Structure 1
Amino acid sequence: MNISIQAGGSDRDLYDSLFDTVSALLEGESDLTANLANVSAVIKEMTRLWWVGFYLVKEGQLVLGPFQGPVACTRIPFDKGVCGACYSSRQTIVVEDVEKFPGHIACSATSRSEMVVPVFHRNGTVAMVLDLDSEYPARFQASDQAGMERIARLIERKL
Structure 2
Amino acid sequence: MFTISDSLPAEKAARYETLAAQARSLIEGESDVIANAANFASLVFHSLDGLNWAGFYSFDGAELVVGPFQGKPACVRIPLGKGVCGTAAATRETQVVRDVHAFPGHIACDSASQSEIVVPLVTPEGELIGVWDVDSPHLARFDEDDAKGMELLCRTFIQYGWKRG
Would you say same fold, with TM above 0.5? yes
1:20 aligns with 2:35: no
Deviation, 1:123, is: 2.3
Q: CA deviation at 1:126?
A: 1.1
| Residue 10 (structure 1) shift | 2.2
Q: Which residue of structure 2 lines up, in the alignment, with residue 78 of structure 1?
A: 80
- Checking the alignment, whether the CA contact within 8 Å between 2:98 and 2:143 is kept in structure 1 is no
3-state SS of paired residue (2:56): strand
Matched residues in 1 for 2:58 and 2:37: separation? Answer: 10
SS at match of 2:21: helix
- The structural deviation recorded for 1:13 is 2.3
- TM-score normalized with structure 2 length: 0.88
Farther off after superposition, 144-153 or 61-70: 144-153
Structure 1: runs of 5 or more not aligned: 1-8
Aligned-partner Cα distance in 2 for 1:59–1:153: 21
What residue is the counterpart of 1:47 in the other structure? 48
SS in 1 for 2:130: strand
Query: Where does 1:56-135 land on structure 2 (aligned, <5 Å)?
Result: 56-135=58-137
Q: Which residue of 1 aligns with 2:151?
A: 149
Structure-2 separation of matches of 1:79 and 1:113: 18
Give 1:59 shift. 4.9
Distance of 1:72 and 1:13 partners within structure 2 = 30
Secondary structure at 1:151's aligned position in 2? helix
What secondary structure does 2:75 align onto?
coil
Q: For the Cα contact (< 8 Å) 1:98–1:104, is it kept in 2?
A: yes
Structure 1 runs (4+) greater than 3 angstroms displaced: none
Q: How far apart are 1:154 and its partner, in Å?
A: 1.3
Indicate the RMSD between aligned Cα atoms, in angstroms: 1.3
> How many aligned positions are there?
151
Question: What's 1:11 paired with?
Answer: 12
CA distance in 2, matches of 1:12, 1:149: 12
Q: What SS does structure 2 have at the residue aligned with 1:133?
A: strand
Higher relative contact order (CA 8 A, sep 6+): 2
Counterpart of 1:108 in 2: which secondary structure?
Answer: coil
**8 A Cα contact 2:122 2:128, kept in partner:** yes
* TM-score between the two structures when normalised by the length of structure 1: 0.91
Does structure 2 retain, via aligned residues, the 8 Å contact 1:119–1:155?
Answer: no
- Per the alignment, in what secondary structure is the counterpart of residue 10 of structure 1? helix
